[in-house]
Structure 1
């Protein structure tokens, strides 16, 4: 009997341990599944954020392509506009009033205005330089000239500069004032 009494408490202890083991294992499994779920949620949120970033980047790239696709062509057309402006500036005043040349001069003036209008319709604007302070983001200083103007002020424009939308298309080539010697 003493063996039975010794065995009986051991059996009860084994039964309690056997019943507790699945409960502990179940809690461990539940904790593991909760961790996996939290990790999956985090990965989902990161993936959503990445998709949103890619979408925004693609939209910006498409908008830039639309706005600035003509940049190379516009640079080439600016040389034509420059030559036209030089030709108009070279016409002497007496030819402007001469009946033989008046039609040609009027046509060239109209062509110059139309060129400026076309550039403007495509977001290409002339940079104002004369009398402005030198801005290295818009102007390229070619020389310094002694002047009574404030040093760093643009006193001569050698070539007009242009912007396309909010980007520099071509810097203005300018002469900048310096203190007289």
Structure 2
């Protein structure tokens, strides 16, 4: 009985590990499914190489961009507001410093947007800071 119980426990542990690995492997599937229609939109926009009207193409890209932002927002991802804020190393990564009329250590330009997810930084904003 003891050996049988031990074997059952070992099998259950292996099954739990397999289930956990499977969960981790496919945990992003729901988000990916939400992104696929947006990828389809991009493909349609890129296939429409006969577009003569730049404004309509730009509007299409803006719509796709807004859809992407909506998907990540629904997953708890938000852009970090950097411009005009005091430099914060937790949220900002300085790439340049420049003389400015702004107070010292103020973000005067955002070179790449940063993002947080449920309060945790995914990627810091790349910024130019006043000195």
TM-score range, shorter chain: 0.5 to 0.7
Give the alignment's Cα RMSD to 1 decimal. Answer: 2.9
C-alpha deviations, 1:72-117, integer Å up to 9, x for none?
x99xx9xxxxxx9xxxxxxxxxxxxxx7233322211100110111
Aligned residue for 1:103?
Answer: 56
Q: Which runs of structure 2 are paired with 1:152-167 in the superposition (5 Å)?
A: 152-167=105-120
* Equivalent-residue separation in structure 2 for 1:143 and 1:106 (angstroms): 32
Aligned residue for 2:49?
Answer: none
* Equivalent-residue separation in structure 1 for 2:126 and 2:53 (angstroms): 36
Question: How many Å apart are 1:166 and its aligned residue?
Answer: 1.2
C-alpha deviations, 1:136-179, integer Å up to 9, x for none?
1000111110001100000011000000111100000001001x
Give the direction of change, closer, same or farther, for the CA distance of 1:107–1:133 in structure 2 (3 Å limit): same
Asked if 1:149 is matched to 2:102, the reply is yes
TM-score (norm 2): 0.60
Question: Per residue, is there more helix in 1 or in 2?
Answer: 1
Aligned residue for 1:168?
Answer: 121
* Equivalent-residue separation in structure 2 for 1:130 and 1:165 (angstroms): 21
Q: Structure 2: 5+ residue runs without aligned partners?
A: 1-22, 36-41, 43-51
* Equivalent-residue separation in structure 2 for 1:116 and 1:145 (angstroms): 31
Structure number with larger C-alpha Rg:
1
TM-score (norm 1): 0.44
* Equivalent-residue separation in structure 1 for 2:53 and 2:127 (angstroms): 37
